[in-house]
Amino acid sequence: MRPEIALSWKRSALSGLEPSSTPDADPCSDLDGSSRLLQAARPILTEMEAQIQGTGFCVLLADRDCRIVARLFDGARVERMIDAAGAVLGTRFGEDCVGTTALGTPLEIRRGVVIHRDEHYLERFKDFSCYGHPIVHPATRRVEGILDMTGIAARANPLFAPFLARAASDIERRLLEGSRVSQQRLVDAFQRISPQNQLAVTAIGEDIHLSNRVALDLLQVADHATLRSMVADLRPDQSKTARIRLSSGEAALVQADYVAGTEGGAVFVVRPEHRTTTPIRRGRLASSSVLQRSRSELARLRDTREPVVISGEPGTGRTTAIRDLAGDKSLVCMDAAGIALDGTQRWLDRLVTLASGSVDVLGIEEVQLLPESMQPLLAKMLESEAGPRIVLTSTPLDSVPPSVAGLVGRCSGQVVLPPLRQRSREFADIAQAILDSLEPGLRLTASTIEALVAREWPGNLAELSVVLRTAVRRRTSANITVSDLPESYRTPPRVTRLAGRERAERQAIIDALQECGGNKVHAANALGISRSTLYTRMRALDITG
């Protein structure tokens, strides 16, 4: 078995596939026919359709997520066999879904590869021989798609490679031309609106940003990330109107228009609302719908005595929520993590003492760590009308042990705190509020906010506080730039717009490099790829080191 095929089989097995597997078909029924890839490929595919007549082969085009977006056939027999194999429009053909194929494997190794019949990982594809070639954007060096030619034959025709390489090159050239056209379309859309002097108008694209004078005066760099997030779920030529809170504290109504053919570009018209109340001080946290529900529930529960459980990931502010719930009443908190240090009996004795004392609110944090021997006592405390009010905190409720789930089920009040990664629209305000608490007068640049938003934040607000504290110590001016952040948080702005698969690949490479002490040979071996492939992917995904 050729080395590249052996490595592909290894990756397929690690994805949980077996040669006899029948992958779940999950075709996307809503393909974007106006995508930049399809627009660039359409005339090339039309030409190829005529060229493959009489050959007994078919051509498949997949996007950067390895989802089939176009198909060409020489005859109904080939089409029936391809349909029977599951290669229908909208179906994902990545190695993690269908194993070694001429669609998924070229995406992994970033070069053309031929797959002969028995080299396919799944049995259902062993009647085919095929060749796949990646389509790489000349400017960004990102894989935009895969072009594949498949036939029912023992060996792939050696002319596949130059034929598809030329076609892929033609599509790449049209992609580059399309990038220039994309910028011009965004400029045109901006100019159609910007002469209206009383409106703040700004256009944000892949690598272009335009603003009229009103927008320059009204919008700050932190607002740009908020505006960009508004169009994340829009389709070309769709519009969206939303009320947002600007960094200045002013409320504004924003109309966002996705400009077709600009790969995520949009024009925003911002209309400030007349303030009838005292404006929110810059840096105070805006409220997302989930967070607003949490705050409303805390406010409702504050004047009651019912037991409450506050759940959320570590670092989401559960302890702060207990203090908010207690208000001006006396509060004592005990952390179940302390049982390991104090011993079970000593910790239990203190709990009993507090329960029989004069404290108004007793908080028991990390309740998911309580041993089963203590849980009956806590259950009685939750049911008792005497003693202090009990407030529990825990990790997300779907992850607690069944016995603990029975405990929290006795709490009539339940408050869920959202993780930081789900609060991207208010991320700029959150980060600025933390920065203001560390050292007032500093500000985060737009690139810094985009780099921070790209992180997963497993430590949530606590982790963000540590990162900003480090940045404050490193800063050389009043602006916190990307270079002030810890090295592992300096995500380039372009990386924030990577697809989920590419972002996961980037993180896997970074983790492998860290585990191997920066040794690229060892990291490549751990990832199951060649060193040259590792260097290529590092360049494509903006990984330094």
Q: What is the CATH number of the domain that holds 123?
A: 3.30.450.40
- Are 475 and 528 part of one and the same domain? yes
The model carries a pTM of 0.44
CATH of the domain at 207: 3.30.450
Q: Which residues contact 470 (CB under 8 A, 6 or more apart)?
A: 485, 486
Q: What is the DSSP code string of 53-68?
A: TTTTEEEEEEETT-BE
Q: Which residues contact 386 (CB under 8 A, 6 or more apart)?
A: none
Contacts of 461-467 with CB under 8 Å at 24 or more apart are 461/315, 461/316, 461/317, 461/420, 461/430, 461/434, 462/314, 462/315, 463/315, 463/420, 464/420, 464/430, 464/431, 464/434, 465/434, 465/438
Q: What is the pLDDT of residue 27?
A: 79
**Residues of the chain predicted below pLDDT 50:** 275-289
Residue in 377, 379, 393 with CA at minimum distance from that of residue 345: 377
Q: Which two tokens stand for residue 367?
A: 């309740």
- Are 449 and 523 part of one and the same domain? yes
- Are 142 and 232 part of one and the same domain? no
Number of domains in the chain: 4
- Are 426 and 508 part of one and the same domain? yes
- Supply φ then ψ for residue 242, to 5 degrees: -150, 155
Which of 400, 417, 434 delimits the end of a domain? 417
- Are 386 and 439 part of one and the same domain? no
Q: What is the pLDDT of residue 275?
A: 42
Which of 417, 448, 482 delimits the end of a domain? 417
Q: What is the pLDDT of residue 280?
A: 35
Is there a domain that residue 187 lies in? Answer: no
- Are 511 and 494 part of one and the same domain? yes
Report how far residue 376's alpha carbon sits from residue 474's, in angstroms, rounded to the nearest whole number: 51
Environment class of 198 (CB within 10 Å of its CB; exposed 0-12, middle 13-18, buried 19+): exposed
Is there a domain that residue 185 lies in? Answer: no
Q: Which residues contact 486 (CB under 8 A, 6 or more apart)?
A: 467, 470, 471
- Are 319 and 397 part of one and the same domain? yes
Reduced to 3 states (helix: H, G, I; strand: E, B; else coil), residue 283 is coil
Is there a domain that residue 216 lies in? Answer: yes
- Asked if 312 and 419 count as a contact pair (C-beta separation under 8 A), the reply is yes
Residue in 414, 417, 416, 443 with CA at minimum distance from that of residue 428: 443
- Are 54 and 172 part of one and the same domain? yes
Q: For the CA atoms of 94, 97, 100, 103, what is the dihedral angle to 10 degrees? A: -30
CB-side exposure of 482: number of CA atoms within 13 Å? 16
CATH of the domain at 447: 1.10.8.60
Residue in 96, 214, 100 with CA at minimum distance from that of residue 148: 100
- Asked if 45 and 108 count as a contact pair (C-beta separation under 8 A), the reply is no
Q: Give one word for 480, left, alpha or beta, with left for phi > 0 and alpha for psi -120 to 50.
A: beta
Is there a domain that residue 84 lies in? Answer: yes
Give the range of the structural domain holding residue 102, as residue numbers without chain letter.
3-178
- Are 241 and 164 part of one and the same domain? no
Q: Print the SS3 string covering 204-241.
A: ECCCCEEECHHHHHHCCHHHHHHHHHHCCCCCCCCEEE
Q: What is the pLDDT of residue 288?
A: 44
Q: What is the DSSP code string of 379-440?
A: HHHHH-SSSSEEEEEES-GGGS-HHHHHHHTT-SEEEEPPPGGG-GGGHHHHHHHHHHHHST
Is there a domain that residue 183 lies in? Answer: no
Report how far residue 427's alpha carbon sits from residue 418's, in angstroms, rounded to the nearest whole number: 12
- Asked if 365 and 334 count as a contact pair (C-beta separation under 8 A), the reply is yes
Is there a domain that residue 473 lies in? Answer: yes
Sheet with 68-73: list strands edge to edge.
Answer: 68-73, 57-63, 143-151, 129-136, 113-115
Which of 272, 302, 337 delimits the end of a domain? 272
CA angle (506 as vertex; 86, 13 as ends), nearest 5: 40
CATH of the domain at 405: 3.40.50.300
Q: What is the pLDDT of residue 500?
A: 59
Q: What is the DSSP code string of 157-215?
A: -TTHHHHHHHHHHHHHHHHHHHHHHHHHHHHHHHHHHTT-TTSEEEEE-SS-EEE-HHH
Report how far residue 488's alpha carbon sits from residue 460's, in angstroms, rounded to the nearest whole number: 16
- Are 445 and 493 part of one and the same domain? yes
Is there a domain that residue 199 lies in? Answer: yes
Q: What is the pLDDT of residue 7?
A: 92
Report how far residue 523's alpha carbon sits from residue 543's, in angstroms, rounded to the nearest whole number: 13
- Are 379 and 433 part of one and the same domain? no
Report how far residue 211's alpha carbon sits from residue 459's, in angstroms, rounded to the nearest whole number: 36
Q: Which of the 8 DSSP states describes residue 143?
A: E
Sign of CA dihedral 380, 385, 390, 396: positive
Q: How do residues 43-87 score in pLDDT, each as one tens digit? A: 999 999 888 888 888 999 999 889 999 999 988 888 898 888 888
Q: What is the pLDDT of residue 75?
A: 82
Is there a domain that residue 11 lies in? Answer: yes
For residue 540, what is the enclosing H or E element? Answer: helix 531-540
- Are 144 and 48 part of one and the same domain? yes
Q: What is the pLDDT of residue 45?
A: 92
Percent of the chain with pLDDT over 90: 22
